[in-house]
């Protein structure tokens, strides 16, 4: 549009001719003052921002387009200075960056928070993964012989040391483990499962559907709450390949219930020449009784009790990287390793490096409790948590904010130990602002702090917060709730 052209508006029957007003003239002048993209890209604020040039350029274009739009609509008549525009573009680019995966502070008290990435790796494991990721590594290379070696040999040795297994294998996750086990060991036959264990693990991973998917027929036995050994025995026929036991993980049956132990099933499986498979879900490698967790099956116990094949996740109670661990009889593991599906489901080098480093720590129990975040978070006592909460509260007041220490309940999460509530302590900000407003503002921080609202109060449970984040939290909270 030319600034000296009259503006023509259609207004019903008659056309109305508007002469250019002073305001329009101003905006036309302003529009011409908008700096060029290339010029703004040379601004120091942008060149120093560390943002990729192509992303900065997109943000600059977006910023300038928005300004042009506002000038045209008459919502503004000023063109801000270049530094202001550059700063705007940088903020916009940073806002876009938040759509990527970024670090957050988990103040929910849920240790294995699937939405927030489940287990945090021990520092040594994170370092091992980073090294394997950014450089060449001995993934399948044997330094002794200079020839090709085993991809997961290091892990297999460590798993054997910790669980006493004959052989092992790791795949992408436990869902993949179940898929490989059933496809490799029971395809074409039927698999017997208790009705009480036909669960959906989450994300649509339903045991009955998986069994069909693997080319097996599901043979359900017993009832939802009670299944007996005779139910399994009565269902076995010539096509039966395996007995499958599944840890119900994300739910708990209470009241009049009866289920068959691995030990009992083992006798039956042996006498009939069937494979006994157990999916223990969370996969605790050490006894968690001292943390008040007593119904999570241990991998070693399952094997001792006679399971031929056991599978579990690497990033639940084990506290390692996402992977699925399969332990069991050498002959069966060998069959799985040579199955074509294994090639599609195998773990990558970063996972293998991180898993090896995590398992190495397990050889020393006190070290494991100190170094593996999942275990150290589980092991914190209520007294320790209260003094941590008080420390955080004091830091908040030193920064000029205000918060209270309150009792809270934290959980293991990720379907591990359902119903388990761990006594914990939390920080509740004291402020005029509503809990939902504080919750949002904490979420908008450069390193977002994720809490949860309970009875109109925002709680930040200290069990899942690293102490190294206290200063940042105190400073941020003081600024949000002065």
Ligand X SMILES: *Cc1c(COP(=O)(O)O)cnc(C)c1O
Residues that bind ligand X in the complex, under the rule CB under 6 A: 173-175, 201, 246-247, 249, 279, 281-282, 313, 324, 415
Q: Which is nearer to ligand X, 282 or 464 (CB)?
A: 282
Q: Which is nearer to ligand X, 183 or 476 (CB)?
A: 183
CB of 244 to ligand X, least distance (A): 11
CB of 296 to ligand X, least distance (A): 10
Q: Distance between CA 113 and CA 120 in Å, rounded?
A: 10
Q: What is the DSSP letter of 284?
A: B
Burial of 441 (0-12, 13-18, 19+ CB in 10 A): middle
| Cβ proximity of 337 and 173 under 8 Å | no
Q: Which is nearer to ligand X, 27 or 172 (CB)?
A: 172
CB of 378 to ligand X, least distance (A): 17
Q: Which residue is nearest to ligand X (CB)?
A: 281
Q: Which is nearer to ligand X, 324 or 373 (CB)?
A: 324
Q: Which is nearer to ligand X, 282 or 476 (CB)?
A: 282
CA dihedral 279, 284, 285, 286 (to 10 degrees): -140
Q: Which is nearer to ligand X, 117 or 448 (CB)?
A: 117
CB of 123 to ligand X, least distance (A): 22
CB of 184 to ligand X, least distance (A): 17
| Cβ proximity of 472 and 399 under 8 Å | no
Q: Which is nearer to ligand X, 207 or 333 (CB)?
A: 207
Q: Distance between CA 22 and CA 120 in Å, rounded?
A: 62
How far are the Cα atoms of 214, 289, 295, 457 from residue 182, in angstroms, in the given order? 6, 31, 25, 47
Give per-residue burial for 324-343: e unless 16+ CB within 10 Å, then b: bbbbbbeebbeebbebeebe
| Cβ proximity of 93 and 60 under 8 Å | no
Q: Distance between CA 59 and CA 224 in Å, rounded?
A: 57
| Cβ proximity of 216 and 230 under 8 Å | no
Quickly count: other Cβ atoms within 10 Å of residue 36's Cβ: 10
CB of 178 to ligand X, least distance (A): 6
Quickly count: other Cβ atoms within 10 Å of residue 366's Cβ: 7
Q: Which is nearer to ligand X, 173 or 227 (CB)?
A: 173
| Cβ proximity of 301 and 278 under 8 Å | no
How far are the Cα atoms of 37, 59, 61, 86, 156 from residue 75, in angstroms, in the given order? 22, 21, 19, 20, 67
CB of 247 to ligand X, least distance (A): 5
CB of 324 to ligand X, least distance (A): 6
| Cβ proximity of 304 and 261 under 8 Å | no
What is the sign, positive or negative, of the torsion defined by CA atoms of 355, 361, 366, 370? negative
CB of 423 to ligand X, least distance (A): 24
Q: Which is nearer to ligand X, 259 or 313 (CB)?
A: 313
Quickly count: other Cβ atoms within 10 Å of residue 195's Cβ: 14
Q: Which is nearer to ligand X, 347 or 462 (CB)?
A: 347
Residue 255 φ/ψ region, left for φ over 0, alpha for ψ in the -120 to 50 degree band, beta for the rest: left
CB of 282 to ligand X, least distance (A): 6
Q: Which is nearer to ligand X, 109 or 297 (CB)?
A: 297
CB of 102 to ligand X, least distance (A): 22
């Amino acid at each position: 549009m030319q600034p000296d052209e009259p503006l023509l508006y259609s207004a019903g029957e008659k056309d109305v001719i508007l002469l250019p007003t002073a305001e329009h003239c101003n905006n036309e002048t302003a529009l011409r003052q908008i700096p060029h993209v290339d010029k703004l890209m040379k601004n120091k604020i942008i060149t120093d921002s560390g943002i990729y040039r192509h992303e900065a350029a997109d943000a600059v274009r977006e910023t300038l387009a928005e300004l042009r739009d506002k000038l045209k609509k008459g919502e503004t008549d000023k063109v801000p200075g270049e530094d202001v525009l550059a700063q705007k573009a940088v903020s916009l680019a940073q806002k876009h960056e938040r759509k990527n995966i970024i670090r957050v502070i988990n103040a929910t008290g849920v240790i294995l928070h699937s939405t927030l990435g489940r287990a945090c790796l021990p520092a040594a494991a994170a370092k091992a993964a980073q090294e394997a990721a950014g450089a060449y590594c001995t993934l399948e290379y044997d330094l002794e012989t200079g020839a090709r070696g085993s991809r997961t040999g290091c892990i297999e040795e460590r798993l054997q040391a910790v669980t006493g297994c004959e052989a092992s294998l790791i795949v992408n996750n436990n869902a993949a483990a179940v898929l490989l086990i059933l496809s490799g060991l029971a395809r074409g036959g039927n698999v017997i499962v208790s009705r009480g264990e036909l669960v959906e693990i989450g994300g649509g991973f339903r045991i009955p559907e998986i069994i069909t998917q693997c080319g097996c027929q599901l043979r359900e036995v017993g009832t939802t709450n009670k299944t007996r050994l005779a139910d399994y025995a009565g269902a076995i026929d010539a096509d039966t390949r395996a007995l499958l036991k599944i840890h119900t993980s994300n739910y708990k049956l209470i009241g009049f219930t009866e289920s068959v132990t691995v030990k009992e099933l083992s006798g039956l499986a042996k006498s009939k020449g069937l494979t006994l498979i157990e999916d223990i879900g969370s996969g605790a490698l050490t006894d968690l009784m001292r943390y008040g967790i007593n119904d999570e099956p241990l991998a070693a116990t399952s094997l001792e009790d006679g399971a031929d094949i056991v599978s579990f996740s690497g990033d639940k109670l084990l506290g390692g990287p996402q992977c699925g661990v399969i332990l069991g009889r050498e002959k069966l593991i060998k069959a799985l390793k040579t199955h074509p599906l294994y090639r599609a489901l195998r773990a990558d080098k970063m996972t293998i490096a991180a898993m090896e480093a995590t398992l190495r720590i397990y050889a020393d129990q006190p070290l494991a409790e100190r170094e593996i975040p999942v275990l150290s978070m589980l092991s914190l006592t209520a007294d320790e948590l209260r003094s941590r909460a008080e420390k955080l509260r004091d830091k908040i007041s030193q920064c000029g904010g205000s918060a209270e220490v309150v009792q809270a309940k934290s959980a293991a999460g990720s379907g591990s130990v359902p119903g388990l509530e761990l006594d914990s302590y939390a920080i509740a900000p004291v402020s005029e602002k509503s809990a939902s407003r504080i919750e949002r503002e904490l979420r908008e921080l450069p390193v977002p702090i994720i809490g949860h609202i309970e009875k109109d109060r925002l709680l930040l449970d200290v069990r899942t917060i690293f102490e190294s984040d206290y200063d940042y939290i105190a400073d941020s909270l003081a600024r949000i709730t002065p």
